[in-house]
Homo-oligomer: A and B are copies of this chain.
Protein backbone atom coordinates (compact mmCIF):
# COMPACT_ATOMS: atom_id res chain seq x y z
CA UNK A 1 0.00 0.00 0.00
CA UNK A 2 1.15 3.56 -0.70
CA UNK A 3 2.78 5.10 2.37
CA UNK A 4 3.60 8.70 3.18
CA UNK A 5 7.08 9.83 2.07
CA UNK A 6 9.94 9.08 4.43
CA UNK A 7 10.61 11.76 7.03
CA UNK A 8 7.11 13.26 6.79
CA UNK A 9 4.20 12.89 9.16
CA UNK A 10 0.44 12.54 9.24
CA UNK A 11 -1.27 14.10 12.24
CA UNK A 12 -4.17 12.39 14.03
CA UNK A 13 -7.07 14.36 15.55
CA UNK A 14 -5.41 14.14 19.00
CA UNK A 15 -2.11 15.40 17.60
CA UNK A 16 -3.81 18.24 15.71
CA UNK A 17 -5.73 19.24 18.84
CA UNK A 18 -2.41 19.57 20.69
CA UNK A 19 -0.79 21.48 17.84
CA UNK A 20 -3.72 23.89 17.62
CA UNK A 21 -3.54 24.65 21.34
CA UNK A 22 0.17 25.48 21.10
CA UNK A 23 -0.33 27.43 17.86
CA UNK A 24 -3.12 29.42 19.52
CA UNK A 25 -0.89 30.31 22.46
CA UNK A 26 1.93 31.44 20.16
CA UNK A 27 -0.56 33.53 18.14
CA UNK A 28 -2.03 35.29 21.14
CA UNK A 29 1.46 35.95 22.50
CA UNK A 30 2.42 37.48 19.15
CA UNK A 31 -0.62 39.75 18.91
CA UNK A 32 -0.11 40.64 22.58
CA UNK A 33 3.33 41.99 21.61
CA UNK A 34 1.82 43.98 18.74
CA UNK A 35 3.03 41.60 16.00
CA UNK A 36 0.97 40.99 12.85
CA UNK A 37 0.72 37.80 10.82
CA UNK A 38 2.00 37.39 7.26
CA UNK A 39 2.42 34.38 4.98
CA UNK A 40 4.60 33.58 1.97
CA UNK A 41 4.55 30.76 -0.62
CA UNK A 42 5.76 27.24 0.22
CA UNK A 43 8.27 27.35 -2.63
CA UNK A 44 10.56 30.18 -3.70
CA UNK A 45 13.10 30.84 -6.44
CA UNK A 46 16.18 28.85 -5.40
CA UNK A 47 18.46 31.88 -5.58
CA UNK A 48 16.71 33.35 -2.53
CA UNK A 49 18.42 30.75 -0.36
CA UNK A 50 21.59 29.95 -2.29
CA UNK A 51 23.58 33.03 -1.30
CA UNK A 52 23.18 33.43 2.42
CA UNK A 53 21.80 30.24 3.92
CA UNK A 54 24.97 28.44 4.96
CA UNK A 55 26.37 25.32 3.32
CA UNK A 56 24.59 22.72 5.45
CA UNK A 57 21.17 24.15 4.64
CA UNK A 58 21.90 24.40 0.91
CA UNK A 59 22.99 20.75 0.78
CA UNK A 60 19.68 19.72 2.30
CA UNK A 61 17.37 21.77 0.11
CA UNK A 62 14.59 20.29 -2.01
CA UNK A 63 15.37 21.98 -5.33
CA UNK A 64 13.28 21.22 -8.43
CA UNK A 65 12.37 22.75 -11.76
CA UNK A 66 8.86 23.73 -12.77
CA UNK A 67 7.48 23.23 -16.28
CA UNK A 68 8.95 26.57 -17.37
CA UNK A 69 12.40 25.48 -16.17
CA UNK A 70 12.39 27.83 -13.19
CA UNK A 71 14.62 26.59 -10.38
CA UNK A 72 12.38 26.42 -7.33
CA UNK A 73 12.98 25.24 -3.79
CA UNK A 74 10.75 24.12 -0.96
CA UNK A 75 11.61 26.78 1.61
CA UNK A 76 14.19 25.58 4.16
CA UNK A 77 13.39 28.47 6.51
CA UNK A 78 11.15 31.52 6.68
CA UNK A 79 13.29 34.59 7.34
CA UNK A 80 14.57 35.05 3.78
CA UNK A 81 11.02 34.74 2.28
CA UNK A 82 9.56 37.23 4.76
CA UNK A 83 12.35 39.73 4.08
CA UNK A 84 11.79 39.17 0.34
CA UNK A 85 8.11 40.03 0.94
CA UNK A 86 9.23 43.10 2.86
CA UNK A 87 11.62 44.22 0.11
CA UNK A 88 9.01 43.57 -2.63
CA UNK A 89 5.93 45.12 -1.00
CA UNK A 90 5.92 45.86 2.71
CA UNK A 91 8.79 48.37 2.66
CA UNK A 92 6.18 51.14 2.39
CA UNK A 93 4.66 50.30 5.78
CA UNK A 94 5.37 52.43 8.88
CA UNK A 95 8.33 51.24 10.97
CA UNK A 96 8.97 49.32 13.05
CA UNK A 97 7.24 46.51 11.24
CA UNK A 98 6.54 43.63 13.59
CA UNK A 99 5.68 40.49 11.63
CA UNK A 100 5.04 36.93 12.68
CA UNK A 101 4.31 33.75 10.72
CA UNK A 102 3.68 30.05 11.09
CA UNK A 103 4.58 27.72 8.26
CA UNK A 104 6.09 24.47 7.09
CA UNK A 105 9.72 24.19 5.96
CA UNK A 106 11.69 21.40 4.30
CA UNK A 107 15.11 19.85 4.73
CA UNK A 108 16.30 16.62 3.19
CA UNK A 109 18.13 15.11 6.14
CA UNK A 110 18.22 11.73 7.85
CA UNK A 111 14.93 11.46 9.78
CA UNK A 112 15.41 11.04 13.52
CA UNK A 113 13.68 11.92 16.77
CA UNK A 114 12.59 15.56 16.60
CA UNK A 115 13.95 15.99 13.05
CA UNK A 116 11.68 15.66 10.04
CA UNK A 117 11.88 16.44 6.34
CA UNK A 118 8.79 18.60 6.65
CA UNK A 119 8.74 20.62 9.83
CA UNK A 120 6.96 23.68 11.17
CA UNK A 121 8.37 27.00 12.25
CA UNK A 122 6.71 29.78 14.15
CA UNK A 123 8.74 32.94 13.88
CA UNK A 124 8.88 36.71 13.91
CA UNK A 125 10.82 39.54 12.31
CA UNK A 126 11.31 43.02 13.73
CA UNK A 127 12.11 45.39 10.88
CA UNK A 128 13.21 49.00 11.17
CA UNK A 129 14.73 49.42 14.60
CA UNK A 130 17.91 48.35 16.37
CA UNK A 131 17.46 50.26 19.61
CA UNK A 132 18.42 48.12 22.58
CA UNK A 133 14.87 48.17 23.97
CA UNK A 134 13.49 46.94 20.62
CA UNK A 135 15.91 44.03 20.48
CA UNK A 136 15.20 43.24 24.13
CA UNK A 137 11.46 43.28 23.45
CA UNK A 138 11.94 40.77 20.62
CA UNK A 139 13.80 38.43 22.97
CA UNK A 140 11.10 38.95 25.64
CA UNK A 141 8.49 38.01 23.02
CA UNK A 142 10.33 34.76 22.16
CA UNK A 143 10.72 34.01 25.87
CA UNK A 144 7.02 34.65 26.51
CA UNK A 145 6.07 32.24 23.71
CA UNK A 146 7.76 29.41 25.59
CA UNK A 147 6.64 30.62 29.03
CA UNK A 148 3.01 31.02 27.93
CA UNK A 149 2.67 27.40 26.90
CA UNK A 150 3.55 26.66 30.54
CA UNK A 151 6.87 24.95 29.95
CA UNK A 152 8.73 25.33 33.23
CA UNK A 153 12.21 24.04 32.48
CA UNK A 154 13.80 26.07 29.71
CA UNK A 155 16.86 28.25 29.39
CA UNK A 156 17.43 31.49 27.48
CA UNK A 157 21.04 32.00 26.34
CA UNK A 158 22.13 35.22 24.74
CA UNK A 159 25.33 36.05 22.87
CA UNK A 160 26.71 38.68 20.55
CA UNK A 161 28.18 37.61 17.23
CA UNK A 162 29.68 40.98 16.37
CA UNK A 163 31.79 40.91 19.51
CA UNK A 164 33.43 37.72 18.19
CA UNK A 165 33.85 39.37 14.80
CA UNK A 166 35.35 42.52 16.40
CA UNK A 167 38.00 40.36 18.01
CA UNK A 168 38.78 38.31 14.90
CA UNK A 169 38.89 41.40 12.69
CA UNK A 170 41.23 43.25 15.03
CA UNK A 171 43.45 40.15 14.96
CA UNK A 172 43.54 40.44 11.17
CA UNK A 173 41.43 37.39 10.36
CA UNK A 174 39.84 38.28 6.99
CA UNK A 175 36.03 38.57 6.96
CA UNK A 176 35.75 35.76 4.41
CA UNK A 177 37.48 33.35 6.80
CA UNK A 178 35.32 34.32 9.75
CA UNK A 179 32.20 32.57 8.51
CA UNK A 180 33.99 29.21 8.55
CA UNK A 181 35.07 29.90 12.13
CA UNK A 182 31.46 30.72 13.03
CA UNK A 183 30.36 27.34 11.70
CA UNK A 184 32.91 25.59 13.94
CA UNK A 185 31.76 27.68 16.92
CA UNK A 186 28.12 26.84 16.13
CA UNK A 187 28.97 23.14 16.00
CA UNK A 188 30.93 23.39 19.23
CA UNK A 189 33.89 21.82 17.44
CA UNK A 190 36.63 23.37 19.61
CA UNK A 191 39.52 21.23 18.34
CA UNK A 192 38.99 22.29 14.76
CA UNK A 193 38.39 25.86 15.89
CA UNK A 194 41.74 25.96 17.76
CA UNK A 195 43.56 24.44 14.79
CA UNK A 196 41.95 26.93 12.43
CA UNK A 197 42.80 29.89 14.68
CA UNK A 198 46.40 28.73 15.00
CA UNK A 199 46.78 28.28 11.26
CA UNK A 200 45.45 31.83 10.86
CA UNK A 201 48.55 33.05 12.66
CA UNK A 202 47.15 33.74 16.16
CA UNK A 203 49.44 33.14 19.12
CA UNK A 204 48.68 30.68 21.92
CA UNK A 205 47.32 33.32 24.29
CA UNK A 206 44.96 34.69 21.64
CA UNK A 207 43.68 31.20 20.85
CA UNK A 208 43.26 30.48 24.56
CA UNK A 209 41.51 33.77 25.30
CA UNK A 210 39.16 33.36 22.36
CA UNK A 211 38.15 29.76 23.08
CA UNK A 212 37.76 30.59 26.76
CA UNK A 213 35.42 33.44 25.80
CA UNK A 214 33.15 31.29 23.68
CA UNK A 215 33.10 28.44 26.21
CA UNK A 216 32.29 30.66 29.16
CA UNK A 217 28.67 30.83 30.26
CA UNK A 218 27.46 32.99 33.12
CA UNK A 219 24.28 34.58 34.43
CA UNK A 220 23.25 38.06 33.30
CA UNK A 221 23.35 39.20 36.92
CA UNK A 222 27.16 38.71 36.84
CA UNK A 223 27.53 40.76 33.69
CA UNK A 224 28.62 43.97 35.39
CA UNK A 225 31.41 42.14 37.24
CA UNK A 226 32.64 40.57 34.01
CA UNK A 227 32.35 43.78 32.03
CA UNK A 228 35.72 45.25 33.10
CA UNK A 229 37.55 41.95 32.76
CA UNK A 230 36.20 41.43 29.21
CA UNK A 231 37.11 44.96 28.24
CA UNK A 232 40.65 44.56 29.57
CA UNK A 233 41.17 41.37 27.65
CA UNK A 234 39.40 42.55 24.47
CA UNK A 235 39.57 46.37 24.25
CA UNK A 236 38.38 46.26 20.63
CA UNK A 237 34.85 45.20 21.68
CA UNK A 238 34.03 48.28 23.78
CA UNK A 239 31.22 49.67 21.59
CA UNK A 240 29.42 46.42 21.09
CA UNK A 241 29.95 45.34 24.69
CA UNK A 242 28.27 48.56 25.83
CA UNK A 243 25.31 47.89 23.53
CA UNK A 244 25.13 44.29 24.73
CA UNK A 245 25.01 45.61 28.30
CA UNK A 246 22.09 47.87 27.39
CA UNK A 247 20.14 45.01 25.83
CA UNK A 248 20.73 42.83 28.89
CA UNK A 249 19.54 45.61 31.20
CA UNK A 250 16.36 46.04 29.16
CA UNK A 251 15.77 42.28 29.28
CA UNK A 252 15.70 42.61 33.07
CA UNK A 253 13.19 45.45 32.80
CA UNK A 254 11.04 43.20 30.59
CA UNK A 255 10.98 40.75 33.50
CA UNK A 256 13.58 38.27 32.20
CA UNK A 257 15.63 37.82 35.38
CA UNK A 258 17.28 34.48 34.63
CA UNK A 259 19.23 34.97 31.41
CA UNK A 260 22.46 33.12 30.60
CA UNK A 261 25.23 34.91 28.70
CA UNK A 262 26.80 32.53 26.18
CA UNK A 263 29.36 34.05 23.83
CA UNK A 264 29.59 30.74 21.98
CA UNK A 265 26.29 31.26 20.14
CA UNK A 266 27.11 31.60 16.45
CA UNK A 267 23.88 30.38 14.71
CA UNK A 268 23.83 28.23 11.58
CA UNK A 269 22.79 30.90 9.10
CA UNK A 270 25.26 33.17 7.40
CA UNK A 271 23.24 36.34 7.75
CA UNK A 272 23.37 36.90 11.52
CA UNK A 273 25.24 39.96 12.77
CA UNK A 274 24.84 41.44 16.30
CA UNK A 275 22.99 40.01 19.27
CA UNK A 276 21.98 36.34 18.96
CA UNK A 277 20.01 34.10 21.29
CA UNK A 278 18.78 30.57 21.77
CA UNK A 279 16.24 28.90 24.03
CA UNK A 280 16.76 25.31 25.15
CA UNK A 281 14.50 22.77 26.75
CA UNK A 282 17.12 20.50 28.37
CA UNK A 283 14.72 17.54 28.64
CA UNK A 284 14.75 17.24 24.85
CA UNK A 285 18.35 15.99 24.97
CA UNK A 286 20.43 16.37 21.81
CA UNK A 287 17.64 18.30 20.06
CA UNK A 288 17.11 20.63 23.01
CA UNK A 289 17.15 23.94 21.14
CA UNK A 290 13.54 25.06 20.50
CA UNK A 291 14.21 28.67 19.50
CA UNK A 292 16.98 30.66 17.90
CA UNK A 293 17.32 34.15 16.55
CA UNK A 294 19.07 37.47 16.61
CA UNK A 295 20.02 40.47 14.54
CA UNK A 296 20.79 39.87 10.90
CA UNK A 297 21.45 41.53 7.61
CA UNK A 298 20.13 40.48 4.21
CA UNK A 299 21.69 43.50 2.47
CA UNK A 300 23.37 41.47 -0.23
CA UNK A 301 20.09 40.02 -1.40
CA UNK A 302 17.82 43.00 -1.06
CA UNK A 303 19.89 46.13 -0.72
CA UNK A 304 18.28 47.05 2.60
CA UNK A 305 21.34 48.88 3.86
CA UNK A 306 19.50 51.25 6.18
CA UNK A 307 17.00 48.81 7.59
CA UNK A 308 17.79 47.07 10.87
CA UNK A 309 16.43 43.52 11.08
CA UNK A 310 16.13 41.00 13.86
CA UNK A 311 13.98 37.95 14.39
CA UNK A 312 13.67 34.43 15.71
CA UNK A 313 12.22 31.07 14.80
CA UNK A 314 10.69 28.50 17.10
CA UNK A 315 10.87 24.83 16.13
CA UNK A 316 7.20 24.08 16.47
CA UNK A 317 7.57 20.29 16.36
CA UNK A 318 10.18 20.27 19.11
CA UNK A 319 8.05 22.60 21.19
CA UNK A 320 5.15 20.17 20.81
CA UNK A 321 7.44 17.33 21.87
CA UNK A 322 8.64 19.37 24.88
CA UNK A 323 5.02 19.97 25.82
CA UNK A 324 4.28 16.27 25.76
CA UNK A 325 7.46 15.35 27.66
CA UNK A 326 6.56 17.91 30.33
CA UNK A 327 3.33 15.92 30.82
CA UNK A 328 1.12 18.90 29.97
CA UNK A 329 -2.37 17.91 28.89
CA UNK A 330 -4.48 19.46 26.18
CA UNK A 331 -8.18 20.01 26.81
CA UNK A 332 -9.55 17.41 24.42
CA UNK A 333 -11.66 18.57 21.52
CA UNK A 334 -14.58 16.55 22.81
CA UNK A 335 -18.10 16.25 21.57
CA UNK A 336 -20.72 18.08 23.65
CA UNK A 337 -23.71 16.03 22.60
CA UNK A 338 -24.26 12.78 20.71
CA UNK A 339 -27.80 12.15 19.45
CA UNK A 340 -29.12 8.60 19.18
CA UNK A 341 -32.38 8.25 17.24
CA UNK A 342 -33.97 4.86 17.82
CA UNK A 343 -36.81 5.08 15.27
CA UNK A 344 -37.39 6.69 11.87
CA UNK A 345 -39.38 9.50 13.46
CA UNK A 346 -36.63 9.82 16.03
CA UNK A 347 -34.13 10.30 13.24
CA UNK A 348 -36.09 13.22 11.82
CA UNK A 349 -36.46 14.79 15.24
CA UNK A 350 -32.76 14.12 15.90
CA UNK A 351 -31.76 15.96 12.75
CA UNK A 352 -33.91 18.94 13.74
CA UNK A 353 -32.43 18.99 17.23
CA UNK A 354 -28.88 18.63 15.90
CA UNK A 355 -29.38 21.65 13.62
CA UNK A 356 -30.77 23.74 16.46
CA UNK A 357 -27.99 22.83 18.89
CA UNK A 358 -25.27 23.32 16.26
CA UNK A 359 -26.57 26.77 15.43
CA UNK A 360 -26.07 27.62 19.14
CA UNK A 361 -22.41 26.64 18.89
CA UNK A 362 -22.50 23.20 20.50
CA UNK A 363 -20.40 20.36 19.13
CA UNK A 364 -22.99 17.81 18.13
CA UNK A 365 -22.87 14.44 16.48
CA UNK A 366 -25.74 12.25 15.36
CA UNK A 367 -25.86 8.52 14.72
CA UNK A 368 -26.03 8.10 10.95
CA UNK A 369 -25.36 4.37 11.04
CA UNK A 370 -28.69 3.38 12.66
CA UNK A 371 -27.01 1.35 15.37
CA UNK A 372 -28.63 -0.04 18.48
CA UNK A 373 -28.39 1.58 21.89
CA UNK A 374 -25.35 -0.30 23.20
CA UNK A 375 -23.24 0.17 20.05
CA UNK A 376 -24.14 3.85 20.10
CA UNK A 377 -23.09 4.22 23.73
CA UNK A 378 -19.77 2.61 22.91
CA UNK A 379 -19.24 5.01 19.99
CA UNK A 380 -20.28 8.03 22.09
CA UNK A 381 -17.78 7.00 24.72
CA UNK A 382 -14.97 6.54 22.15
CA UNK A 383 -15.63 10.09 20.92
CA UNK A 384 -15.62 11.45 24.47
CA UNK A 385 -19.18 12.77 24.23
CA UNK A 386 -20.33 14.48 27.43
CA UNK A 387 -24.06 13.93 26.88
CA UNK A 388 -26.13 11.49 24.84
CA UNK A 389 -29.70 12.28 23.77
CA UNK A 390 -31.97 9.28 23.15
CA UNK A 391 -34.95 9.63 20.84
CA UNK A 392 -37.06 6.48 20.94
CA UNK A 393 -40.78 5.81 20.57
CA UNK A 394 -41.53 6.82 24.14
CA UNK A 395 -39.64 10.08 23.79
CA UNK A 396 -41.43 10.97 20.56
CA UNK A 397 -44.84 10.22 22.11
CA UNK A 398 -44.19 12.49 25.09
CA UNK A 399 -42.29 15.23 23.25
CA UNK A 400 -39.30 14.82 25.55
CA UNK A 401 -35.70 13.74 25.06
CA UNK A 402 -33.86 11.42 27.43
CA UNK A 403 -30.46 12.92 28.22
CA UNK A 404 -27.70 10.80 29.70
CA UNK A 405 -24.62 12.34 31.26
CA UNK A 406 -21.91 9.95 30.16
CA UNK A 407 -19.59 10.28 33.15
CA UNK A 408 -22.18 9.83 35.90
CA UNK A 409 -24.66 7.78 33.92
CA UNK A 410 -27.45 10.00 35.27
CA UNK A 411 -30.46 10.51 33.02
CA UNK A 412 -33.03 13.30 32.83
CA UNK A 413 -35.99 13.96 30.55
CA UNK A 414 -36.27 17.38 28.93
CA UNK A 415 -39.02 18.77 26.65
CA UNK A 416 -37.85 19.13 23.04
CA UNK A 417 -38.38 22.89 23.05
CA UNK A 418 -36.36 23.34 26.25
CA UNK A 419 -33.26 21.46 25.04
CA UNK A 420 -31.23 24.44 23.89
CA UNK A 421 -31.91 26.27 27.14
CA UNK A 422 -31.00 23.14 29.12
CA UNK A 423 -27.62 22.73 27.47
CA UNK A 424 -26.87 26.44 27.59
CA UNK A 425 -27.17 26.17 31.37
CA UNK A 426 -24.95 23.15 31.86
CA UNK A 427 -22.35 23.38 29.07
Chain A residues touching B, majority SS = mixed
User: Contact at A44–B94, with CB atoms within 8 Å?
Assistant: no
User: Contact at A36–B9, with CB atoms within 8 Å?
Assistant: no
Known: A94-B382, A382-B94. A361 touches B5 (CB 8 A): no
Q: Is A1 an interface residue (CB 8 A)?
A: yes
Which candidate, A316-324, A362-370, A411-419, is the interface stretch facing chain B? Answer: A362-370
Which partner residue on chain B sits nearest A350 by CB separation? Answer: B133
Q: Is A396 an interface residue (CB 8 A)?
A: no
Q: Is A40 an interface residue (CB 8 A)?
A: yes
Q: Is A42 an interface residue (CB 8 A)?
A: yes
User: Which residues in B have their C-beta under 8 angstroms from that of A72?
Assistant: 5
Give A15 Cβ to nearest chain B Cβ, in Å: 8
Which partner residue on chain B sits nearest A95 by CB separation? Answer: B369
Provide the A1-20 mask, 1 if CB < 8 A to any CB of B, else 0. Answer: 11111101111110011001
Give the complex CA separation of A347 and B137 in angstroms: 12
User: Contact at A133–B4, with CB atoms within 8 Å?
Assistant: no
User: Which residues in B have their C-beta under 8 angstroms from that of A128?
Assistant: 369
User: Contact at A34–B365, with CB atoms within 8 Å?
Assistant: yes
Number of interface residues of A (CB under 8 A): 95
User: Which residues in B have their C-beta under 8 angstroms from that of A253?
Assistant: 348, 351-352
Provide the A59-76 mask, 1 if CB < 8 A to any CB of B, else 0. Answer: 000101111101010100
Provide the A22-49 mask, 1 if CB < 8 A to any CB of B, else 0. Answer: 0000001001111011111111110110
Known: A5-B44, A382-B94. A34 touches B364 (CB 8 A): yes
Give A246 Cβ to nearest chain B Cβ, in Å: 11
Q: Is A104 an interface residue (CB 8 A)?
A: yes
Which candidate, A82-90, A154-162, A210-218, A278-286, is the interface stretch facing chain B? Answer: A82-90
User: Which residues in B have their C-beta under 8 angstroms from that of A40?
Assistant: 4, 10-11
Q: Which residues of A contact B (CB under 8 A)?
A: 1-6, 8-13, 16-17, 20, 28, 31-34, 36-45, 47-48, 62, 64-68, 70, 72, 74, 81, 84-85, 87-90, 94-96, 98-99, 104, 106, 108, 118, 128-129, 131, 133-134, 137, 140, 144, 250, 253-255, 301-303, 333, 335, 338, 347-348, 351-352, 354-355, 358, 361-366, 368-370, 378-379, 382-383
**9 pairs, A vs B, C-beta closer than 8 Å:** A1-B302, A3-B45, A8-B41, A10-B38, A33-B358, A34-B364, A42-B74, A64-B64, A133-B351
Minimum-distance CB pairs A-B, first 3: A34-B365, A134-B368, A64-B64
